[in-house]
Amino acid sequence: MDSMNQTVIYAAVMLVAGLGIPVMGALNGGLGARMQNPALAASIMLFVGACFSLVFLLSTRGLAGLSLRVSAPWYFYFAGLFVLMYVLSVTWVAPRFGVGNAISFALLGQLLAMTVIDQVGLFGAIQHSLTMQRAVGLVLMAAGVFLVVRRS
């Protein structure tokens, strides 16, 4: 598969994943508000996600996919804490602040974090230097976030 096809496939997968984030925020925020317990709603959502992830793992990799013999730095295993922090945050904030506002500021945080991670190749990520073109794009995206959440 050539580089252009890979780029299109990767972009499409992440576009679909991105579409799911506000849906997840709205659904889980609604559940948390109805239960009056954002932590319980987040726990249920993560449990359901873990179950589906395990089914996916077993259906694609079988029991061999359960091997935990991996040499990775200890901090790689704490990615789930960031998922939990995001889920708890959006479950609590979205019903109070609006799904659009919550997701917009989460996007701004993602833009800031990805800039640092890409610039220094943090955690073994592919390094992409901050060029003037990228900096302008980031400023425009950040301005877009603020325009989206601004109330006239």
* DSSP codes, the chain: --HHHHHHHHHHHHHHHHHHHHHHHHHHHHHHHHHT-HHHHHHHHHHHHHHHHHHHHHHHHGGGGG-------GGGGGHHHHHHHHHHHHHHHHHHH-HHHHHHHHHHHHHHHHHHHHHHTGGGPPP----HHHHHHHHHHHHHHHHHH---
User: Which pLDDT score, from 0 to 100, does residue 152 have?
Assistant: 65
Alpha-carbon dihedral of residues 142, 145, 150, 152, nearest 10 degrees? 100
Q: Is the pTM of this model over 0.85?
A: no
**Mean of the per-residue pLDDT values of the chain:** 90
User: Which pLDDT score, from 0 to 100, does residue 65 have?
Assistant: 61
pLDDT tens for residues 34-48? 999 999 999 999 999
Q: How far apart are CA 56 and CA 6, in angstroms?
A: 22
Q: Is the pLDDT of residue 149 over 90?
A: no
Q: Is the pLDDT of residue 30 over 90?
A: yes
pLDDT tens for residues 111-124? 999 999 999 999 99
pLDDT tens for residues 12-27? 999 899 999 999 999 9
User: Which pLDDT score, from 0 to 100, does residue 81 have?
Assistant: 93
User: Which pLDDT score, from 0 to 100, does residue 55 have?
Assistant: 92
Q: Is the pLDDT of residue 140 over 70?
A: yes
pLDDT tens for residues 63-105? 776 666 678 888 988 999 999 999 999 999 999 999 989 999 9
User: Which pLDDT score, from 0 to 100, does residue 145 have?
Assistant: 87
